[in-house]
Structure formats: C-alpha cells, structure tokens
Structure 1
Amino acid sequence: MRTAEKPEIAALPLFAAMDADQRERIFAASFLQVFPPSLNLFDTGQKPDFLHILVDGAVELFTANGDRTTTMAILRPVRSFILAAAYTDQPYLMSARTLSSSRIMMIPSALIRDAIDNDRALMQGAMNELSFGFRYFVRALTDMKLRQSVERLGNYLLVESDERGGAFQFDIPIEKRTLASLLGMTPENLSRAFSALAAHGVNVDGSVVQIVDREKLASFAKPDAFPTNDLAG
C-alpha cells in the first residue's frame, strides 16, 4: 500500500481505533487495488487467502448450483467481505465479483486472524462487521419467506429511497437482472412486479424510479419495523 493511501484507509471504521503499530503491520502487508467491472474476485469453495475490504465501487456476492446462479448480496462501501471465512480459515460459501470499477483492500487472512486475536479494538470492529452481516442475511431470509415478490420489490425501493435521504426519484443502482436475482425473481417476474407497483404509488421508466405516493407504497409493502443500516445492498 502506498504511503499516500494510508491516512484514508486508517480512518475506516474497522481500523480507526486499533493500535497504530498493529495497523501499520497490516498496511505493510496489504494491497489496495482498483479492479475493473465484472471481475471475479474469488469463487465458492476457494480457501480465503485474503480479507477483502470494499473502499469504492460495488461488489456482488453470489452462489451457484449447476447452471443456476443467485445473488446473495450487493455490497457498497465501506464493508469487509467475507470476514467469517477469513477468520475461520474455511472455504468461501459464496463467490464475489465487481459490478463496477472498485477499489478493494486485500489483507492476508493469516495476518488479520493474528491481529484480531491481539488487538481489542480490531476485535470489536470485526464483531460489528460479523453482526451486520448476520442481521442482513436474517432480514433477507425473512423477506424471502414472509413477503410476496411485489412486496419485496416495494421494500427494496423504500430502502433505496431512504438511503438517498427520502428521495422520491432515483436510478436503480444495479442492472435489473441482478436486482431480480437479489430479490429471488426471474427478470420477467421483476418486470411484472414493477407494473404491479404502479397501483401502489410507483412509476418506473427504464432504470429511473419515481415514488409518487410514498405513504401508499409503505402501506402496501409494510417496511421493516426495525430498520438498520446492515450490510448495504
């Protein structure tokens, strides 16, 4: 890692409170690289040589079974992935690829395991990361089991609006086929779900969403009673 990059990375939540000498030890052995879009970073079943930290860009976590592939999460900065595999030295349960040009820090897994064991602040940061990840996947599983596809899409749009300060108009930040996979739909079902949301206060033109009646959409989609800023995506 270049010297000029260190202050920015040192300010990231995972590193900010840790011992300066331990942090410098991590930085000395780490890489900060820019990856192009649509690049596979690692595959399911691969041993975790590195802990990845998304600094800029977007990353898709996905898994496959035969010729079927599904999106598990969309990551946005700043977030580590996949800490559970890196810390336990167990194979990845998901694959990862970039969705856009992405700046990613790569820390050798053996080093991050040792640092977590020896630095209380880093251990607390790691616990926060793991907790956010757990809560995200509980929420996603609950969505899949308890909500119909149109309701899942409505909730997704409400979250995207909230992340933009309650914006009533915004661009969908990922391709629609990726969104369909994330929400457990086919692209055709996603198209029908967007059409169905017209009756609940949503207009869609290409990738542009306009929430014309937020109260009506919320009444239909019934957003989470306990929203959190978990694993963004």
Structure 2
Amino acid sequence: MTPADLDTARQSALLAALPEPQRVRVMEGAQVQSVETGQTIFLQDEPADALFIVLDGWVKLYRVASSGTEAVVSVMTRGRSFGEAVALRGLPYPVSAEAITPARLLRLDAARLRHLLQSDPAMATSMLAAVFVHLQHLVGQIEGLKARSGVQRVAEFLLDLSAGREGEVSVALPYNKALIAGRLGIKPETLSRAFARLRDHGVRIEAAMAHIEDVDRLRELVAEDPAKAWLR
C-alpha cells in the first residue's frame, strides 16, 4: 500500500472519525485489490464477507429486479467506502458491485472488523459516522430525484465533477452516458436532451468531455425553482 493509498483510506468516511491508533488497527491485514473494467466485486445476496474503500477508479452499485432490469444505486470513486452497513452486521449484500473503470480497492475483512468493534465500543461508535454519511448521501439522492428536473440533475452531476472550481472549466465524463443516465434516474434519451438544453447555459459536450463556460451559471440552474426548470 502506497503513502497515497494510506492517505485516501484515512480520509474516507469509514475511517476519518477514528483516532490514528484505531485506524492502524482497522487497516492491519487489509488487502489492496485491483479490478478491471466490467469485473464483478460481489453479487447481490452473497454473504457480505468484506467491505471496501475505493483507492482509484470507479465502481457502480446496482440491483437487478426480477424482470432483469438493472437499477444503478450509486457510483463510487476515490475515498468512498461501500459494503460496511451489511458487512458489520453479517448480512448479505443488498446490491451487486462492478468496476466500471480499472480500479484499486482496499479490502477489509468483515469478520475481523466485527471482532474489533465488539472489543472496542468507542471504535464502534466512531464508525457509525460512516453509516450516517451514506444515509445523508441517499437522502440527497432521493431529494434530487424528487425535486429536480432531468436538466438540473445533469447540471448538478457536472458541478460535482468540477470539484469546486470556478469560472470556465472542462471536465471528463468518468463513465459512459448510459451509466450516467442510470445514475441520475433518467433515460439515455432524456440525458441527450438535457445535454442539448444545457448549451443555453454555456455547457458544450464533446465526446467524453464537458466544457463549462461558467460554473456559477450551472449553480444558478440547480438552485432554480424546479417548476421553471421542468419547462427547459
């Protein structure tokens, strides 16, 4: 594990609230796992024998309905953790996980971590912060799906990619447009229409790049009354 890997793991929501001695104990025996694009990390309903922190790359979490339809639950990138809520309770994975780019993961054994938490209640309390972060993230996702138009969801996605930069920005779309649409809860054709409508707000899509003339204009669109945005 490289120094950069250690920094990424320490700053993840899973470990950030722990004092350094406890972080060291948690990471003892952790393994770095490399996966290729399209490789399955675990499948829905399998026993949750591990939890993961993304060190590099992108991973999608998804569920498959009885009809065979795939629903993208979340997309994880560097510093994000997944699998902890069920792994720490010894439950099956409620979703499947698949690498959508080459990725490197820190794999933590669930049984060992459960033993640590049972022997150290203070550590268990601190790690509840990770579950709370995920809850906040899911609530934010639901709010976005319910209260924002497709154009606003796409604009917010581009803002997240711009990572707080200002003015004119170019960002790479991190994965294919079909997956972006699934992640945002819209159809691929709706995504195409949203990209077209965003041209009026200074956004130009070229292949896998988004060129944003002014980040503040996108912020204004995301904050706009959804009733107006639905008409765009």
- Residue 51 of structure 1 is matched in structure 2 by 51
Aligned to 2:6: 9
| Alignment correspondent of 1:145 | 146
4+ long deviations beyond 6 Å: none
Whether the 8 Å contact between 2:26 and 2:113 is mirrored in structure 1 is: no
Q: Structure 1 180/17 Cα, relative in aligned 2: closer, same or farther at 3 Å? A: same
Which residue of the partner structure matches residue 21 of structure 2? Answer: 19
Aligned equivalents of 1:206, 1:82: Cα separation in 2: 33
* Number of residue-to-residue matches in the alignment: 217
Name the structure 2 match of 1:134: 135
| CA apart distance, 1:219 | 2.2
In the alignment, the residues of structure 1 paired with residue 142 and residue 169 of structure 2 have an alpha-carbon distance, to the nearest angstrom, of: 27
Q: Supply the distance in 2 between the matched residues of 1:83 and 1:62 (Cα, whole angstroms).
A: 16
Normalising by the residue count of structure 2, what TM-score does the alignment of the two structures yield?
0.83
CA contact (8 A) 2:101 2:175 kept: no
One-letter amino acid matched to 1:74: V
2:228 maps to none
User: Which amino acid counterpart does residue 12 of structure 1 have in structure 2?
Assistant: R
Tell me what 2:191 maps to.
190
CA distance in 2, matches of 1:25, 1:212: 44
CA distance in 2 between counterparts of 1:7 and 1:151 reads 34
Correspondence for 1:40 = 40
TM-aligned CA deviation for residue 51 of structure 1: 1.5
Q: What amino acid does structure 2 have at the position aligned with 1:174?
A: Y
**CA contact under 8 A between 2:5 and 2:55: conserved in structure 1?**
no
Q: What amino acid is the match of 2:36? A: P
2:178 and 2:159 map into 1 onto residues whose CA distance is 19
CA contact (8 A) 1:63 1:69 kept: yes
Cα RMSD, aligned residues only: 2.5
What one-letter code is carried by the residue in structure 1 that aligns with 2:169? F
Percent of aligned positions that are identical: 24
Report the alpha carbon displacement of residue 116 of structure 1 after superposing the two structures with TM. 2.3
- Bigger Cα displacement from structure 2, 102-111 vs 83-92: 102-111
Structure-2 residue corresponding to 1:98? 99
Q: How big is the shift at 1:216?
A: 3.0
Q: Which residue of 2 aligns with 1:79?
A: 80
Q: Give distance in 2, aligned partners of 1:5 and 1:210.
A: 33
Q: Distance in 1 between matches of 2:126 and 2:3?
A: 18
1:46-76 per-position Cα deviation (integer Å, ceiling 9, x unaligned): 1101122222222111112122112111111
Structure 2 unaligned spans of 5+: 225-232
Task: Map 1:135-214 onto structure 2 (within 5 A).
Answer: 135-161=136-162, 163=163, 165-166=165-166, 168-214=169-215
Contact 2:49 2:110 in 1 (8 A): yes
